Amino acid sequence: MRKLSEAEIESIVGLLKEGNPLPEDYKTILFDTKREYELVYADKEREENILADTMAVPLQPVKTFRNGKNGNDWTNMLIFGDNLQVLKTLLQMKQEGRLKNADGTPGVRLVYIDPPFATRREFRGSQDQKAYQDKIAGARFLEFLRKRLVFLRELLSEDGSIYVHLDQRKSHYAKTLMDEIFGEQNFQNEIVWLYREAINSKEKWNNKHDTIFFYSRTKTLIFNYKEVLEPYSPGTVKKYKYRDEKGFYRLMGRGLKDSPISSARDVSPKWEKEHPELVFRHYLGKGTLPVDYWNIDIINQASRERLGFPTQKPEALLERIIKASSNPGDLVLDCFAGSGTTLAVAEKLGRRWIGVDCGKLAIYTMQKRLLNIAESKDLENPKKKYGKLCRPFTLYNAGLYDYKMIKELPWEQYRDFALKLFQCRDERHEISKIELDGYLGADNVMVFNYQKYKDAVLDRGFIDDLHKYLGDKIGQRFFIIAPAASVQFIEDYIEKDRTKYYILRIPYSLIEEIHNQGFSKIKQPVSEMDVNDTVDAVGFDFIQVPTVECKYFIDDAKGQLKLLGGTKECVIKIERFESKVISRKPLNFANLETLSMVMLDYDFDGEVFDLDEVFYAEELKKNNYEVHFSTDKAKERIMIIYVDLFGNEKREIKTLSDFKIGG
């Protein structure tokens, strides 16, 4: 760092006194940074603040499929929630020694992300409409991505790698961000994915590739080149026309000085017989060394892999990445998991995996894909089925909790949940012989033990008694975490002398005075165009089942069912749909305003919802909020899931007998 001149010092002091920002020129002068350059944009946060201020949310188990564990201490994870908050939670797990590979190495060995708002081009949905719009633009997009990259770097093992999949619109910005976060020295390659697709533009060069940036955490990394060798061309194979017990070979000249052999390649067999010292056998290997451009077909309409999910990636693409940069038993993470290609391939290749997504449609799509993986194609022989059941995995909620389940937790588990929910440090201590549970910042925290004191309530008398013992021994703030039903006053805090006793209610939104930020929720799509829209969600909420009233009938509007002799249609007429939102300021929603989608399982087995079809709210609105499906699709039991904008669900099970002709 060079010494400032008197004029520069005077200029800086003057700007600071007037409250004006410093010119960017001063940045490298005032601060000792190792970076020669970086991407500058509005509202760019310090890495330290991102790591410290991001809220960790507890993971609440919903259901474990296939029961048991994959190894001694691991079950694969499918997580519904905002990925930034989940990444903070996963980082805490790593720090606690609960996130590791099969060989005991802490952290994630491989990360692949395909941010849906930043990948590929506009694509078409099932009705040939645009199904993708880039809603996060400019500096907001950059910071959105950067926050997640910072956490992903911290989550990687020391020999871990990350692949970031982008298109031509965002890749140049992302490359600069990744150089800042991971270091230019850890940039390994830029991979170009070439794909075949219909060419439709006559006004510009048609785009036929995506970009995948490959970085490592350190200079030490895993790269299994033998696992991703490229097949030889037929022309090359043809040259290996001789064969012995070792395999096919061609004869090559040794290139010795003054050798009578004029060509070093494909020499005559007579030379080997007469002068073996001048000739050697070059055997056909398993393939050529891998290169950074990949010709892999996209998922088209006729593909066996196709799930109908926007931006679904081919398994061959992820197979190459996972084989190259991880080993069996290693942990693979995809926090924009979407259709679940990363998870499915990791499963088939014997890796541990974590998938995160904020979309209910994505979660149910992945759940079905994994549970039915035995019927999918085998990676080594696509003409055959994989044929194996998936290993156990657990579905978690993060940021959206079942309050009934929380109340039933054993005390220690409830206490742990309550502390984590409000980001408190778990440090038991005593003040004046009163047991306290931890700290929020520098302030004391008590978790109200409503299970131990079943008849006790948190009222003004409780606060008075507490203050008698603690008043002169604590600071200006004291926090009590308690169920809302146990609190007998409506104020956020009770003030005694110089101390405010804050009540953190469960359920209750975090007090904005404490965290100095507003709270937002994940929103579910209302049309196919919105499926890949991603938003930041801050805070948490509790599951509140929406109120749903419907009529179920078989369409006989024309009274011709007996005459048609064809397929009858079941109709679900949604007449009322209202959502409850506890942890936000009261909002009044019009009827049907908060409906996101209706999902159907036409053959419900009584245990697992197996998604067959989805109907979006925008589509239903055009059809008078009626869901239509053929009676031929329906089996013995039909499960219907109504989803609101906030991810809450109403579930119903119906049979064909519930659908009456004419309503």
Q: What is the pLDDT of residues 280-318, one digit of tens each?
A: 999 998 888 989 989 998 888 778 888 888 788 999 999
The pLDDT of 237-264, averaged and rounded, is 83
> CA nearest 170: which of 130, 120, 132?
120
Angle formed by the axes of helices 341-348 and 315-325, nearest 10°: 60
Judge contact between 258 and 318, C-beta under 8 A. no
DSSP letters for 473-507: TS-SEEEEEEEGGGB---SSEEEETTEEEEEEEES
Q: Does position 132 have pLDDT exceeding 50, yes or no?
A: no
Q: Is the pLDDT of residue 127 over 70?
A: no
CA distance 511 to 492: 8
**Cα–Cα distance measured from residue 44 to residue 140, given in angstroms and rounded to the nearest whole number:** 9
pLDDT at residue number 274: 85
What does the block give as tokens for 597? 């989608």
Q: Which of 362, 651, 421, 643 is nearest to 541 (CA)?
A: 421
- Whether the pLDDT of residue 336 is over 70: the answer is yes
Least confident of 44-53, 387-396, 529-538, 539-548: 529-538
Q: How many residues does the chain have?
A: 663
Q: Are 598 and 643 in contact (CB under 8 A)?
A: yes
Distance separating the N- and C-terminal Cα atoms of the chain: 80
Report the phi/psi class of residue 616: left, alpha or beta, with left for phi > 0 and alpha for psi in -120 to 50: beta
Structure tokens at 201: 């533009």
Give residue for tokens 């409850």: 580
Separation of alpha carbons 96 and 227, rounded Å: 33
Mean pLDDT score, 86-115: 94
Q: Which residues contact 621 (CB under 8 A, 6 or more apart)?
A: 592
Instruction: Give the mean pLDDT of 250-260.
Output: 76
Burial environment of residue 39 by CB neighbours within 10 A (0 to 12, 13 to 18, 19 or more): middle
- The pLDDT-based confidence of 215 (bands split at 50, 70, 90) is very high
pLDDT-above-90 percentage for the chain: 48
Is the pLDDT reported for residue 10 higher than 50?
A: yes
Q: What percent of the chain has pLDDT over 70?
A: 85
Per-residue pLDDT, 510:
37
Please state whether beta strands 156-166 and 209-216 pair in parallel, antiparallel, or not at all (unpaired).
Answer: antiparallel
Residue 120 corresponds to which amino acid?
A: R
Contacts 24+ apart (CB under 8 A), 3-8: 4/29
pLDDT on residue 161: 98
**What pLDDT was estimated at residue 32?**
54
User: Rounded to the nearest 10 degrees, how much is the dihedral formed by the CA atoms of 510, 511, 515, 519?
Assistant: 50
Q: Which of 564-568, 577-581, 626-630 has the lowest mean pLDDT?
A: 564-568
Residue 566: what pLDDT? 56
pLDDT at 231 over 80: yes
How is residue 147 written in tokens? 């926050």
Letter for the amino acid at 306? R
pTM higher than 0.85, yes or no? no
Note if the bond before 392 is cis, omega within 30 degrees.
no
Average pLDDT of span 164-173: 85
Give the mean model confidence (pLDDT) for residues 482-506. Answer: 84
Torsion of CA 254, 258, 261, 265, to 10 degrees: 40
119 closest CA partner among 153, 150, 165: 165
Q: Does residue 180 surpass a pLDDT of 80?
A: yes
Residue 208 binned pLDDT confidence (cut-offs 50, 70, 90): confident
Alpha carbons 598 and 621: distance in angstroms, whole number: 12
Give the pLDDT band (50/70/90) at residue 531.
Answer: confident
- pLDDT, residue 135, reads 47
584 vs 422, which has greater pLDDT? 422
pLDDT score, position 513: 34
pLDDT of residue 447 exceeding 50, the answer is: yes
pLDDT band, very low/low/confident/very high, at 201 (cuts 50, 70, 90)? confident
515 pLDDT more than 50: no
Those residues with Cβ within 8 angstroms of residue 53's Cβ, 6 or more apart along the chain or in another chain: none
* pLDDT on residue 484: 75
| CB neighbours of residue 484 within 10 Å | 14
Give the pLDDT score at 368. Answer: 95
Compute CA 79 distance to the chain's CA centroid, rounded to the nearest angstrom: 8
d(CA 430, CA 438): 10
Q: Can you give the pLDDT at residue 27?
A: 59
Contact indicator for 399, 539 with CB cutoff of 8 Å = yes
**pLDDT for the residue 519:** 53
**Mean per-residue pLDDT of the chain:** 84
CB atoms closer than 10 angstroms to residue 599: 22
Which amino acid is present at 113?
A: I
